[in-house]
Chains A and B, each alone.
Chain A
């Protein structure tokens, strides 16, 4: 009887957390749309940048659901970017085809890399993914096809003029990026809540136990990595449409670091934290670089502050806070309730 009560309490707490996460997501969407509606021409570029980084963070955070942290996600972003550039500029095919090719490329490459990478975990997974991305970087840096280190310009955007949408207009492109980020977020919320997503969470919490219960840890992790790769490649395809330019810089480990930092700032394992962190990071970089000389000094200080004050990120902090508040109301709500946010 008592355990039953505890169980239902736990379930309601979990539901509560999911509710709060999704609520933060809705607030973020409204804020993004308001910002897009009322901000200047230049800010549209920042909004598009944040939304694309937001898609990228979602891909990284899905992987974190099963306890894996990648430090080479720029490689998968780069696959999408280079596939999109290759199909449009080098092969002369329409951008719509290129987006499909980019996502397929992301799936194939992440599946192949995943076969090796998801056998490891923790710091070792971090290093293997970094290695894979750096190998791609080395290739891109020397690639004659893609102009090597100089990069390649003239990448077209998706042509939606036949249905009356002009994506060369920054305001409309920013809106599209927001919409895409929202779609990916909703899909991943569904994935995380599905039996597949629950299994991933179980693998994060205790891989040996899942294996002992007959769960195929390797297959699930590979599936998560491949899905993550598809989303990262999608982000890459839109990143190059935004800048109209590809270069090896897209694949450098600074990009992998940026997306990781955005997720950590927002709160890893919360999904909505990623896009929130992306927005915070893009705004911070823009504000600091336009007002301060040595702005990396301040950016670093802010990172350090966030790590010390909010080790579970902004959304993680909010969830913990709400968890504590409801705990003080119902003292029976027991340990383990803060499991979801803590990776």
Chain B
């Protein structure tokens, strides 16, 4: 089956497309983790929330593009609100208090969406422009999925330049590298962190909107994705863009090809990949620095 070059190429594209979605969530989580040592499990809740906002926008007659323009901003606003109202308060209380708080937020978020929209999955239509398929060297591939791959590449490139070439990027890298020294030099890591958090939740929001036409919108979609994203983050290594990219690709491919080769054990393959990586690289493939990994 995999020997058929067309089928193989199609699966490679599928893997890429899923990797891009994982990346949109993983980068925010990874940098937040790297910068503040903050374990924010509620990152997936923002993703789910954005998907529901997108659903509402399209329900009200707005286009997919309107949803894509609007929902991530709403997501980032809600993310910042959560940050200043709740998350910030356990910044220094350790991972466990953060887990308890963010699991609490996940429970609340899921039930609030249930109350507002019901238990059944909702659909968001693909934009008209991207409804067809594109002929790629003899493979008919859905344009929407191709758009996702392109979007992921654009975000990756933009983030690369933002991190490597701008002043804010330098501040973020300094903070991830050695927070105490950066603060001694007068950098307000708290402000940098709030901005990074906003960008991270914005991208999670983008992820939620673009995932909606493919996977649907339902309560619990946050938990489904967050486990995979956490795996991406630890496999890639904390706090680094390259790590998040590599981790997303590895898990995206492992998931897609796992489902083809061993349909019943796809999840197992992902966990096996993670176990293997962490056996040889206990802090992930490309961590921004050697993290002190005390809980």
Q: Is the interface of A mostly helix, strand, loop or mixed?
A: helix
Binds B, one of A45-53, A126-134, A159-167, A243-251: A126-134
Within 8 A of A (CB), among B152-209: none
Give A residues with C-beta under 8 Å from B. Answer: 67-69, 116, 119-128, 130-132, 134-135, 138-139, 142, 204, 207, 253, 257, 260-261, 264-265, 268, 294, 296-297, 299-308, 311-312, 342-343
> Once bound together, how far apart are the Cα atoms of A204 and B96, in whole Å?
15
Could you say which residues of chain A place their CB within 8 Å of the CB of B39? 123
Would B267 and A301 count as touching, CB distance under 8 A? Answer: no
Would B94 and A343 count as touching, CB distance under 8 A? Answer: yes
Could you say which residues of chain B place their CB within 8 Å of the CB of A126? 95, 295
- Count the B residues whose beta carbon is within 8 Å of the partner chain — how many? 49
**Inter-chain pairs besides A126-B295, A299-B107, A307-B101, 15 sampled, C-beta below 8 Å:** A67-B295, A69-B95, A120-B282, A125-B293, A127-B234, A131-B272, A132-B271, A134-B271, A138-B264, A138-B268, A257-B103, A297-B112, A303-B107, A306-B100, A343-B295
Within 8 A of A (CB), among B261-295: 264-265, 267-268, 271-272, 274-275, 278-279, 282-284, 291-295
Would B97 and A307 count as touching, CB distance under 8 A? Answer: yes
Q: Does B106 contact A (CB under 8 A)?
A: yes
Would B294 and A121 count as touching, CB distance under 8 A? Answer: yes
> Once bound together, how far apart are the Cα atoms of A248 and B81, in whole Å?
38
Would B100 and A261 count as touching, CB distance under 8 A? Answer: yes
Would A67 and B294 count as touching, CB distance under 8 A? Answer: yes
Q: Does B78 contact A (CB under 8 A)?
A: no
Q: Does B148 contact A (CB under 8 A)?
A: no
Question: Which single residue of chain A is at the shortest CB-CB distance from B275?
Answer: A131
Q: Does B124 contact A (CB under 8 A)?
A: no
Would A303 and B103 count as touching, CB distance under 8 A? Answer: yes
A122-B291, A124-B282, A260-B99 known; A296 and B111 CB under 8 Å?
A: yes
> Once bound together, how far apart are the Cα atoms of A308 and B101, in whole Å?
7
Would B271 and A123 count as touching, CB distance under 8 A? Answer: no
Could you say which residues of chain B place their CB within 8 Å of the CB of A132? 271, 275
Would B284 and A294 count as touching, CB distance under 8 A? Answer: no
> Once bound together, how far apart are the Cα atoms of A269 and B78, in whole Å?
34
> Once bound together, how far apart are the Cα atoms of A135 and B95, in whole Å?
24
